[in-house]
Chains A and B, each alone.
Chain A
Amino acid sequence: TQLLEQSPQFLSIQEGENLTVYCNSSSVFSSLQWYRQEPGEGPVLLVTVVTGGEVKKLKRLTFQFGDARKDSSLHITAAQPGDTGLYLCAGTITAGNKLTFGGGTRVLVKP
């Protein structure tokens, strides 16, 4: 059992549709990050959330951190083929920056 559970594991949608990816844990995180990774490359940081209840927007992406800092979600509006990739949540539990990664959600946006 992973400390951070991501769901769904795989998501296939048509261009223009919306999607939401969830990241859940029984542990409290001091901060949580979302990454996107493309095949053969390292993960690229999308956002960091640190405050319970925090909502951050990055163009068509909306990130939310749960009030109790145990869960987070990533919502993409009007998805485009360029949004295709592996989305990873990762969090830090204690002070410091050691990251625990979720299992990842593979998103495929069909044109």
Chain B
Amino acid sequence: GAVVSQHPSRVICKSGTSVKIECRSLDFQATTMFWYRQFPKQSLMLMATSNEGSKATYEQGVEKDKFLINHASLTLSTLTVTSAHPEDSSFYICSASSGSNQPQHFGDGTRLSIL
């Protein structure tokens, strides 16, 4: 149980393109989803927390207009990297939780490469 699916697993696109990443909880309802970014050989850095039906809460230094998060249902959250540039290239990981005191279950990540 508690499977989180992320799609796509890898995307390569040109600078200026907007890229959407999906995070789905397959067998539970995720009231909260988290989005992380991980640079090579570094740890996970939390970007934002999203609760179903409300606006995401962004961590300090993360541009909300650059990284658009939508959590319209209890099983799906999306992260859109708008007008992506090479410096946005990274490994993006989502996690989902069924409640505020429940563990996070992680997806397998999306490798984003901007040329």
**A residues engaging B (CB < 8 A)?**
33, 35, 40-45, 48, 88, 90, 95-104, 106
Contact = CB atoms under 8 A, between A and B. Distances in A.
16 contacts: A33-B103, A40-B91, A40-B111, A41-B108, A42-B4, A42-B106, A42-B109, A43-B106, A48-B103, A88-B43, A97-B32, A99-B34, A99-B104, A101-B44, A101-B46, A106-B41
Interface residues of B, number: 26
Residue among A42, A96, A106 with the highest chain B CB neighbour number at 10 A: A42
Contacts of A35: 106
B42 A103 contact: yes
Contacts, number: 55
Nearest to A88: B43
Contacts of A96: 100-101
Interface of B: 4, 6, 32, 34, 41-46, 49, 91, 93, 95, 97, 99-104, 106-109, 111
**Among all A-B residue pairs, the 4 with the closest Cβ atoms:** A42-B106, A104-B43, A42-B108, A101-B43
Main secondary structure of the interface of A (DSSP, over half): loop
Given A40-B109, A40-B111, A42-B109, A97 B97 contact: yes
Residue among A35, A97, A106 with the highest chain B CB neighbour number at 10 A: A97
B6 to A, nearest CB: 8
Contacts of A44: 106
Contacts of A104: 42-43
Contacts of B104: 97, 99
Given A88-B43, A101-B44, A95 B101 contact: yes
